[in-house]
Chains A and B, each alone.
Chain A
Amino acid sequence: MRPGVEARGAEPAVIALRGAWKRFGARTALEPLDLDVRAGEVVALVGPNGAGKSTVLRILAGTIRPSGGTAAIGGRDVAAQGVEARRLLGYLPQRLGVPSTTVLRDLTALVAAVRAVPLADALARLADVGLGDRAGATLAQLSGGQRQRAMLALAALGRVEALLLDEPSISLDTEGAEDVRAEIRQARSRGTAVLFASHHLHDVARLADRILVMVDGRVAAQGTLPELAAAAGVSWSEVMAEAPIERIYRILVGRQRGGNAAPALTLLRGDAA
């Protein structure tokens, strides 16, 4: 079986990759990957830059085409039934994804129209994230945090069944990052399948039901945090106040790259040496 994570249980996967791989010129950005995320599940992609995390999300969002394999959202093939698949999908790209001169209200009106949400409800959603008085501003006029909150609110607008978030906490302050965590928790409670990529490992540890550690386009390790801890040889204690996620990550990434996973962080009590 190809590396990847499959949803457990009989419930069909909302997000599904089957042997999806991607090559940009001579460089393979993603090796063949199987991945299932079911309704109400949160799966995180972690890994260094260039690991293939964004490639996975972009294939699922339909913004790049896989070199091979398939991607599906809610059972709709992203390539063959793109519009139907994207009707079930909310996607927050790593870059802005619209010209920065776009007025927030215009973008909100477009998203509301294509998702069949009344404009008043969509604007109320902006107000919920503290941007009620900024609808007339261009995206360039918003702060980085405001922009990220706005784009996340629009990505999750309507009855999306799958949410793909590429570095959702990037450029956010502590409060903004907490808003993102709240949005992901709300999405999970609504039964939305969430797949997100992040370098913020504490967010990953707090939010993800399962984690994929990716290195150089391959899955280095997968599973729940305790499973990853076991794979990394880090002892795991239920009584730990905070998971030693950075250490686990460093060991797993270092092992995949064949080097020494020299732990530079201060070890928490109970960590394996």
Chain B
Amino acid sequence: MTAGSLLRFDFAAARRGRLVPLFAAGFALASLALALAGLSAGGVVVVQGFARTSVSLLQLVLWVVPLLGLVLGAVAGVECHELEFVAALPLSRRAIVVGRWAAWVVALGAALLVGLGAAGLVIGSLAGAADGLRYLALIGVALLLLSAALAIGLWIGVATGTRTRAVAVAIGAWAVLLVGTDLAAIAALAILPPGEAAWELSLLLVANPVDSARALGLGLFRADVLAGPTGAALRRVLGGWGAWALVAGLAAWTVGPLVLAGRRFARSDL
């Protein structure tokens, strides 16, 4: 009952802002725009099928979802320090952190579902339902990535304590996750002899939630050849288990930062 009450309280706060409907509308518009973007040779606008649209949408997901999750999570984490009245209620500090994370996952997850779902309905009705299940799986990957990004953001917010610093660190983390590990992988490939760094590259992929989501998303549509050197290394090392390793990695990126944020907040003076 207490956990449910806390979730309802935080969810009410999360959905009251303008961000959630803006995020939903923005994602719906961007998804539809990508779906309608293909022009035929005759110049007639046609709707692309789920597979091609999804590979394009994946790039949008990989850029926007971590940024939003990290920044909003960081702000939510900082706000934990402003909850002196709530912290004096019979609630554990860990429950307060998890409650805020869960509320934002539900609020932004619903916006993601609305945005990508609206595009999915249009694509399905105009271009057929082939690969529709894979499209749903892509939404699942986006939700996993959102969950991990919010958890990392919360940890950043709880640990840094001030809004400006937390947002700055969150944006820095986003840049590292988006391109930093890829640069490290390219550097490793350039330095090491061919075939020597397969394990290390696989670990690098699992160690980065954005890369994990990228490899999972591309794998859904048999486009994993596009996943780059880390994706190739993962296939070579783990074979068919690679996808599950990536899902486990994303889940760990949710649980780990949440545990750290809860511990840090439990020790903090408000």
B9 within 8 A of A: yes
Q: Kindly state the separation between the CA atoms of A110 and B198 in the bound complex, as whole angstroms.
A: 51
Q: Which residues A87-102 have CB closer than 8 A to chain B?
A: 87, 89, 91-93, 95-99, 101-102
* Given A103-B12, A106-B12; A61-B88 close (CB under 8 Å): yes
Q: Does A145 contact B (CB under 8 A)?
A: no
Q: Give the complex CA separation of A102 and B85 in angstroms.
A: 12
Distance in angstroms from A63 CB to nearest chain B CB is 4
Query: Of A87, A93, A109, which one neighbours B85 at CB under 8 angstroms?
Result: A93
**A97 and B13 in contact (CB under 8 A), knowing A83-B91, A87-B90, A114-B90?**
no
Q: Are B92 and A83 in contact (CB under 8 A)?
A: yes
| Interface check B224, CB cutoff 8 A | no
A residues in contact with B89, CB < 8 Å? 86, 110-111, 114-115
Please give me the residue from chain A that is nearest to B86 by CB atom: A98
Q: How far is the CA of A86 from the CA of B88 in the complex (A)?
A: 6
Considering the chains assembled together, what is the distance between the CA atoms of A8 and B82 in angstroms? 37
B28 interface residue, CB < 8 Å from A? Answer: no
Chain B residue at minimum C-beta to C-beta distance from A94? B84
- Report the Cα distance A98→B6, complex, angstroms: 13
CB of A242 closer than 8 Å to a CB of B: no
B84→A109 contact, CB < 8 A: no
Give the number of A-B contacts (CB < 8 Å).
85
CB atoms of B84 and A99 under 8 A apart: no
A109: chain B residues at CB < 8 Å are: 5, 8-9
Complex-state Cα separation, A115 to B86, whole angstroms: 12
Mostly, the B contact residues are helix
| A63 and B13 contacting across the interface, CB-CB below 8 Å | no
From residue 23 to 77 of chain B, which have CB atoms closer than 8 A to chain A?
A: none
The residues of B that contact A91 with a CB separation of less than 8 Å are 85, 88
In Å, the complex CA distance between A245 and B159 comes to 45
Interface residues of A in 204-246 (CB under 8 A from B): none
Q: Which residues of B contact A114 (CB under 8 A)?
A: 2, 5, 89-91
A65 adjacent to B267 (CB under 8 Å):
yes
Interface centre among B1, B89, B90 (most CB of A within 10 A): B89
- Do A97 and B12 have beta carbons less than 8 Å apart? no
Kindly provide the distance from the CB of B159 to the nearest chain A CB, expressed in whole angstroms.
17
Do A99 and B79 have beta carbons less than 8 Å apart? Answer: yes
B255 at the interface (CB under 8 A from A): no
* Chain B: minimal CB distance from A108 (Å): 10
A154 to B1, CA, bound (A): 18
- Expressed in whole angstroms, the minimum distance between the Cβ of B108 and any Cβ of chain A is 18
Q: Which residues of A contact B84 (CB under 8 A)?
A: 58, 61, 63, 93, 95, 97
A153-175 vs B: 1/0 string, CB under 8 Å? 01100000000000000000000
Cβ A83 vs Cβ B90 within 8 A: yes
**A residues near B13, Cβ cutoff 8 Å:** 99, 101-102, 106
**Interface flag for A123 (CB, 8 Å):** no
Contact A97 B90 (CB under 8 A): no
In the complex, the chain A residue whose C-beta lies closest to that of B82 is A99
Also in contact, A97 and B9, with CB within 8 A (given A89-B88, A114-B89):
no
Q: CA A98 – CA B4 in complex, angstroms?
A: 18
Could you tell me the distance in whole angstroms from the C-beta of A126 to the nearest C-beta in chain B? 15
**Cα of A93 to Cα of B82 in the assembled complex, Å:** 11
- Complex Cα gap A111–B87 (Å): 11
In the assembled complex, A82 has its CB within 8 A of some CB on chain B: yes
Q: A58-B269, A82-B92, A113-B1 are in contact. List 4 more A-B contacts (CB 8 A).
A: A65-B267, A98-B85, A114-B89, A114-B90
Q: List 19 A-B contacts (CB under 8 A).
A: A61-B87, A62-B88, A63-B88, A64-B269, A83-B92, A86-B88, A86-B89, A89-B88, A97-B84, A99-B82, A101-B13, A106-B8, A106-B9, A107-B9, A109-B8, A111-B89, A114-B89, A115-B90, A155-B85
B: residues with CB less than 8 A from A are: 1-2, 4-6, 8-9, 12-13, 16, 79, 82-92, 267, 269-270
Q: Which 9 A/B pairs are nearest by Cβ-Cβ distance?
A: A97-B85, A113-B5, A97-B84, A91-B88, A64-B269, A87-B90, A110-B9, A61-B88, A63-B270
